[in-house]
Structure 1
Amino acid sequence: MDRSFAERRTQSIPRPVKQKRMARGFWKDYQLYLLLFLPIAYFIIFKYVPMYGAAIAFQDYSIFRGVSGSEWIGFENFRELFAMSQFYTVVRNTLLLNLLDLIVSFPAPIILALLLHELSTVWFKKISQTILYLPHFISWIIIGGLVYQIFSNNGGLVNNLITSLGFESVPFLTEKNHWLLVYLGTGVWQSAGWGTIIYLAALTGINKELYEAAEVDGAGRWRKMWNITLPGIRPTIVVMLIMALGKIMTIGFERPFVMGNTLVMDYAEVISTFVYKVGLQSAQFSLATAMGLFQALVGLIFVIGSNAIAKRMGEQGLW
């Protein structure tokens, strides 16, 4: 097959000339490359270098012998892990909480972004965004304390109000189904505002002339939102959904650990708390690493599968 003129011209340039052009381009925009240094260093140090420790999952690891000196035992840790009844409980709880979180929390920033986009008063829009962003910067330890102060059975703000009206107190934090509602609602409150940033950025890329043409045709706000705004941010929604599905087996440690208690362990015991108890409290490092490797593998399968489905549906996908 014939090559294009641009390809032939590029290949005809001598290598030293190419190198000089690359060096000139680097020094021309060196500030931008310097900005890339910190995120690249972060991923190398905290994401790629720790992959060396994944070998622990296939060893009878000893902190005294290290990774290089520990005995290799193949897939024995995975066999032990899959034989534990608690393993299936924590996997079920992780999938359940993440799936419900996806159903409840994923649409929330989209709806908020659409509402903020429709605000015409600039100062009110900025104040609203600031207030919505604030929960993201609050530690889960503090959020957990607030939740207990508001929803606890004895002395909680909500239950005090309920009992003052003559009703019985509601076990928000000690009964599984009520705890689940509080867990999901707290997650929406903490993450929805921060999640609007990406969608608001996507909304700014929609051509304003489309709205003007729709107004000429007599379209109202709802019609413009349905036919212009949502299709305009659909690629962003698909990408964010694929990334969320990739984290379906990954759950943060702080939220279930802080909000959980012994009465709701049927739901609150998840992979991250299991790894904490097995790996740090019981010092079974190989077993905890095997769980982490299994978790990463399932997440990879979800990412590849969801991206393939998105491609088949005609969306852009991640790659």
Structure 2
Amino acid sequence: MRNVHLADDALTVTKKRKSVALSIKHACMRYHWLYMMMIPGLIYYLIYHYIPMLGLIISFKDYNMMQGIWKSPWIGLQNFREVFSSPDFPLLLKNTLVLSVYRILFNMLPDLLLALILNEIRVRWFKRIIQTVTYGPYFLSWIIVYGLTFSFLAPDSGLISSWVNEHWGLSINLLTEKEWFRPILLLTDIWKNTGFGAIIYLAVLATINQELYEAAVVDGAGRWSQLWHITLPGIRDVFLMLIILRIGHILDAGFEQTYIFLNARVYEVGDIIDTWVFRRGIENLDFSTASTVGLFKSFVGFILVIVANKLAKKFGGSGIW
């Protein structure tokens, strides 16, 4: 009797496998053009994202450019011990986490608020003007943004610095003040990226069923009630997804912006892991240390994304998978 049940189970498994194989074959035949369009993208990620991951092996080697990756001697976890035992590492980690958390807390809300405001504007030409003005800074490089900031905050010739000096007789240089370095980074980041972030939310708002608003109006709901009960729940999943993605990059903290604004007088509050790695890896040609820190950041980001995704699903969100 037991052998009969085992045979039935094996037959069932075989049928399921054949069914899955047929469904996959049918999907490939039906959507073969779509799969062919995916090939260039897959090749790009294979060449520029997956094959270079083999270079992570230098994290476990005393890498020498003359000997190459494969002939450089193995040293195990020595690079990791050197990085984590470095007296600079605790401060670098603290600055990186502080800046990243500030970006998550203060830079996501302006995107959402701008999208909600634009969604309520009914005059099309005025809405387009606001979108153009707020979206324009996104196309500026951080070099140009720093140049604009310098023109306002330069100690002798800046517009704001000159105005303060003229009216109060004070000589200020906010770009080299430790207390002002992080606020300046956050404010310039908000100014540059808020318009682009709002576009994502506007795209989501456009997908909300308008019949919900019509039904709410019939029931006597005002604009605030519609916002609270229809609009915000409609964009909740996207908001959580963006938070999850930002948490995965919590050890990045915006290298390009930070490196351009950084100077020797604000190292205590502005030097982050990426700027330190740039000095060690590029300026000092210590590629093993740079690869070690990159591997550490990837591992931490991977764990944080998994945890954040589970928390998002636990509190009613859809997560990213």
TM-score relative to the length of structure 1: 0.90
Equivalent residue number for residue 115 of structure 1: 117
Tell me what 1:172 maps to.
174
- Aligned-pair identity in percent equals 38
Kindly provide the amino acid, as one letter, of the partner of residue 279 in structure 1. G
Equivalent AA in structure 1 for residue 160 of structure 2: V
Residue of 73, 91, 107 corresponding to 1:89: 91
Q: Distance in 1 between matches of 2:210 and 2:315?
A: 27
Residue number among 187, 190, 201 corresponding to 1:188 in the alignment: 190
Q: Is the 8 A contact 1:171 1:178 kept in 2?
A: no
Aligned to 1:210: 212
Deviations 1:22-53 (A, max 9, x none): 554245xx2x4455344333322222111101
What pairs with 1:268-287 in structure 2 (closer than 5 Å)? 268-287=270-289
Q: 1:314 aligns to what? A: 316
Q: Could you say if the C-alpha distance between residues 128 and 14 of structure 1 is closer, same or farther in structure 2, counting changes exceeding 3 Å?
A: closer
Q: How far apart, CA to CA, are the structure 2 residues paired with 1:106 and 1:136?
A: 15
Aligned counterparts of 2:61 and 2:295: Cα–Cα separation in 1 = 13
Aligned residues of 1:109 and 1:193 also touching (Cα < 8 A) = yes
- Aligned counterparts of 2:133 and 2:102: Cα–Cα separation in 1: 25
1:236-255 equivalences in 2 (<5 Å): 236-255=238-257
Cα displacement (A) at 1:172: 1.6
Where 1:96 maps in the other structure, the secondary structure is helix
CA contact (8 A) 1:250 1:299 kept: no
Alpha-carbon displacement from aligned partner over 1:105-161 (angstroms, at most 9, x marks no partner): 011111111111111011221222122111111111111111111112221111122
Is 1:223 paired with 2:225?
yes
What is the match of residue 125 of structure 1?
127
Distance (Å, rounded) in 2 between the aligned partners of 1:51 and 1:105 = 31
* Correspondence for 1:291: 293
Cα pair distance change 1:14/1:180, threshold 3 Å: closer
Give the AA of the match of 2:313.
K
Shift of 1:9: 9.4
C-alpha separation in 2, matches of 1:126 and 1:67 = 53
Q: CA deviation at 1:91?
A: 1.2
Q: What are the Cα deviations for residues 58-80 of structure 1, in whole angstroms up to 9, with x where unaligned?
A: 01111122111111111000011
**Which structure 2 segments of 5+ residues have no match?**
1-7
> What RMSD over aligned residues (CA atoms) do the two structures have, in Å?
2.3
1 CA distance for matches of 2:272 and 2:257?
11
User: Which residue in 1 is equivalent to 2:4?
Assistant: none
3-state DSSP of counterpart to 2:175: coil
Distance between the aligned counterparts of 2:300 and 2:16, measured in 1? Answer: 45
CA distance in 1, matches of 2:187, 2:59: 36
Distance 2:217 2:20 in 1: 53
Question: Hey, what's the Cα distance between the residues in 1 that align with 2:63 and 2:20?
Answer: 54
Q: Counterpart of 1:60 in 2: which secondary structure?
A: coil
Can you give the 5+ residue segments of structure 1 that lack an aligned partner in the other structure?
A: none
Output the amino acid matched with 1:209: E
- TM-superposed CA distance for 1:163, in Å, is 2.4
Contact 2:138–2:195 (Cα < 8 Å) also in 1: yes
**Preserved contact between residue 110 and residue 194 of structure 2 (Cα < 8 Å):** yes
Deviates more, 1:298-307 or 1:165-174: 165-174
Q: Distance in 2 between matches of 1:183 and 1:279?
A: 24
CA contact (8 A) 1:98 1:248 kept: yes
Secondary structure of the residue that 1:85 maps to in structure 2?
coil
Query: Is the contact made by 2:97 and 2:253 (CA closer than 8 Å) also made in structure 1?
Result: no
SS at match of 2:259: helix
Is the Cα–Cα contact under 8 Å of residues 141 and 254 in structure 1 kept in the other structure? Answer: no
Task: Normalising by structure 2, report the TM-score.
Answer: 0.90
Distance 1:82 1:14 in 2: 49
Contact 1:57 1:289 in 2 (8 A): yes
Deviation at 1:13, TM superposition (A): 9.5
For residues 230 and 176 of structure 1, the distance between their equivalents in structure 2, rounded to whole angstroms, comes to 37
Q: Deviations over 1:178-201 (max 9, x none)?
A: 121111100111111101122111
Task: Judge conservation of contact 1:60–1:70 (CA < 8 Å) in 2.
Answer: yes
2:30 — aligned with what? 25
C-alpha contact 1:206 1:232 (8 A) present in aligned 2: yes
Once the two structures are superposed, the pairs formed by residues 123-162 of structure 1 within 5 Å of their partners are 123-162=125-164
